[in-house]
Chains A and B, each alone.
Chain A
Amino acid sequence: MTFDYFNRRLHLYLALSLLPWFLVYGLSSIPLSHGAYFNRLYEDGQPMWTLRFERSYNVPVPDDAELKTIGRRIVRDTGLTGAWGAYRQSADELHVFVYRFRHSVRVIYRIPERKLRVEDARFRWDHFFTGMHARGGFDQDSWLDDFWAVVVDLFCVGLMLWVASGLWMWWRARGLRLWGAIALGAGCATFALFLAAL
């Protein structure tokens, strides 16, 4: 087996292995890039959030609170599962977003009233895709989330390997070097111009 052969097979089989992620990142970038258009598609009077329940709840939230600890406790006490993030919306309000690919939940904790409000998000196809796009990182408690993050890393390494193996294949095809160099040079120059002028 020559290196050229290995390189071609690597390029191909890597692509076939990562195809679902490649398509997800490609498709989800459309609503990310054209958010206003997709928002208009869902302007049909239906609310984005629907109340599931509201109840009394008491957890101390000091000004310098460790949001991760409080968020974890709220998620546990409400029996919700999924990736989550806690945000101090205002001095009086703490929000916890619990996210799964097919369903999201928002928990609003009103600190002065000691009230917990749990709301379900409306399913939207654009959010389904953009949610997958944005998911990543190793800051969740679940090993499944870590596994997803590992796949994200593999995808990034895959992208770099596609570039490297693709460049090699192009360079080995002597007849394509000139036009390839023009395409590569034009791309690099355009990118550099953007960096300098944006």
Chain B
Amino acid sequence: MWRLLHVIAIAALIGSAAYVYSVKYQTIYASEQIVKTRHQIAKERDAINLLRAEFAHLTRPDRLQALADAQLDMQPLALGQIVKADDLPDHAPKVDSIGRKLESLSLLGDSATPSAGLTGATPAVR
């Protein structure tokens, strides 16, 4: 009886020690990971900052202007090209121009769909 209790106690001792060790090493590992991640975040932040600076440098107005002058076939904005939204002309009434064309050619009948071979680019018989 006592011997069994001793064995159980020793086993519990070893078990709890092992558990404590595993928890401890997990903690150390986790804190290492935190430090690493923090470094990673700081690095990424620096990289983002560098990219922001680079973007600002590449999109600086004098560079864009020089590139636009050299590469694009565009004119400087004339004041006459600026209009208010109210000054835009109203939409023209919607017109089915293709339908009207067909109508004027009197092709828009009941059997408006032309049969193959009569129209179209590809002749039915070679």
A associates with B: no
Q: Which residues of B contact A (CB under 8 A)?
A: none
